Amino acid sequence: MPHIQISNSQDESQSQCSYYHLPITHHCILTIKHKNSYISSLGIGGKLLYTGSSDKEIQMLKRDNLRYEYDHENLNNSVIITGKGAVKSLVVSADKIYSAHQDHRIRVWKVDENDAQQKKLTQLATLPTFSDRALTILTPKNHVQVRRHKKSTWVHHNDTVSALAVSRDGLVLYSVSWDRTLKIWRTTDFKCLESVANAHDDAINAIALSSHGDVYTGSTDKKIKIWRKLKSPKGEKHSLIATLKKHRSGINALALSTDENVLYSGASDRLIIVWEKSDDDDGMVVVCTLKGHVKSILCLSVVSDLLCSGSADETIRIWRGIEKCYFCLAVLEGHSGPVKCLTSETDHLSLSDASASYIIYSGGLDSDVKVWQISIPL
């Protein structure tokens, strides 16, 4: 039986800390406007920023150019048309990009660097692959009930693929879907290795992955579940080791701290909950609850010791924790619609002995990609 971890609420005095009174500087470096579509996903790889949008497009932007006025003609030349519906998630691993789509598919791309003028994406596969589908469709035991009058093979997602994660060595891809399943794929041949059916009671919206292989999933059912690969009579399979219950509404985003000892969860209840590993079991306990956003938390990103949160209230908040007390360092305002996706990185071009600098990329339902720079005194 899986261990169930139900965290107790903490005193309000311990759950919210005041603003951090340091001369933090931040500004929007650049805004890139897209036409007729909102930005649904962002990813960083090599020297590029990848954007996924609601009109099936993936675009590649050179990050070095994003500090200046961007060439929109060049932007239009880097469009890759894919699938049906929004690009829901992008993850980058070495020279491969994985994209999750509203048409229930995952697509795999390779960065083609043969063109000296401009890098291009070449599609390698669509998951599940034809060979996976062919091998499973002929055997009745490979068919599972997905709706009252519909069956499908276990390798298929049967609703929007909402989020992806890839292992640090790049050998394993994890996907979650509104069909309530967690699937595991081998990236050498794109074979589906495992499917966890009914992993949640409702749509799964978010996934986070530790370097040790622990998988965290967040769902509209208000729960976070932790999965680990364990030996069983049928071989190694992912098993539920803990369930975290604290949010009052559906979970939209998950992120791990850089040392992986802390999990952050953002939900439609307007809260970010900070979880820390428990000393005596495989569960996690609540450290504090971050309040400040006035609408749903839609996305989270971690860079160094900072947590970035994007919300339906059209703002981005930057948080830092010191000895389990978290402070809001800054509120970034500029989007005219909900902030749907975030990614971030250390700003290596602005190194200083006096301050640390970071670049934050945000995408919103206002169809804008914004590039922010934030500097924090050391």
Judge whether residue 368 has pLDDT over 70.
yes
**Mean pLDDT of all residues in 162-166:** 98
Is 168 within the bounds of a domain?
no
| Model confidence pLDDT, tens digit, residues 217-238 | 999 999 999 999 998 777 789 9
Amino acid sitting at position 355: S
Q: How many structural domains comprise the chain? A: 1
Is 287 within the bounds of a domain?
no
- Please say whether the beta carbons of 43 and 37 come within 8 A: no
Is 162 within the bounds of a domain?
no
pLDDT for 74 equals: 59
Return the SS3 of 142.
helix
Is 58 within the bounds of a domain?
no
Count how many residues are written for the chain. Answer: 378
**Mean pLDDT of all residues in 187-193:** 96
- Please say whether the beta carbons of 343 and 301 come within 8 A: yes
**Mean pLDDT of all residues in 120-130:** 90
Task: Grade residue 106 by pLDDT with cuts at 50, 70 and 90.
Answer: very high
Is 344 within the bounds of a domain?
yes
Both tokens assigned to 20? 């951090």
| Model confidence pLDDT, tens digit, residues 59-73 | 988 888 887 666 665
**In whole angstroms, what is the distance from residue 376 CA to residue 378 CA?**
6
Which positions ≥6 away from 169 have C-beta within 8 Å?
none
Is 318 within the bounds of a domain?
yes
Task: Grade residue 3 by pLDDT with cuts at 50, 70 and 90.
Answer: very low
Q: State the residue for tokens 């041949």.
A: 189
Q: State the residue for tokens 């690009």.
A: 87
Judge whether residue 81 has pLDDT over 70.
yes
Judge whether residue 135 has pLDDT over 80.
no
Judge whether residue 2 has pLDDT over 90.
no
pLDDT for 257 equals: 97
Does the model's pTM come out above 0.75? yes
**In whole angstroms, what is the distance from residue 267 CA to residue 299 CA?**
9
pLDDT for 4 equals: 35
Task: Grade residue 14 by pLDDT with cuts at 50, 70 and 90.
Answer: very low
Q: Return the ∠ at Cα 50 (arms to 290 and 267), rounded to 5°.
A: 20
Full domain range(s) for residue 348 = 292-377
For the sheet containing 355-364, what is the strand order?
25-33, 368-377, 355-364, 339-346
Query: Which residues on neighbouring strands pair with residue 329, listed in sequence order?
Result: none
- Please say whether the beta carbons of 282 and 3 come within 8 A: yes
CA distances from 162 to 28, 101, 176, 305, 377 (A): 28, 7, 6, 27, 37
Judge whether residue 170 has pLDDT over 90.
yes
**Percent with pLDDT over 90 in the chain:** 66
pLDDT for 80 equals: 79
Q: What is the mean pLDDT of the chain?
A: 87
For residues 59 and 272, the model is more confident at 272
Judge whether residue 7 has pLDDT over 60.
no
Judge whether residue 169 has pLDDT over 60.
yes
**In whole angstroms, what is the distance from residue 164 CA to residue 213 CA?**
14
Distance of CA 84 to the CA centre of its chain: 20
Within 10 A of 6 (CB to CB), how many other CB atoms are there?
9
- Please say whether the beta carbons of 287 and 274 come within 8 A: yes
Task: Grade residue 114 by pLDDT with cuts at 50, 70 and 90.
Answer: low
Residue 30 dihedral angles phi and psi, to the nearest 5°: -155, 145
Most confident of 23-37, 80-94, 191-205: 191-205
Output DSSP code: residue 141. Answer: G
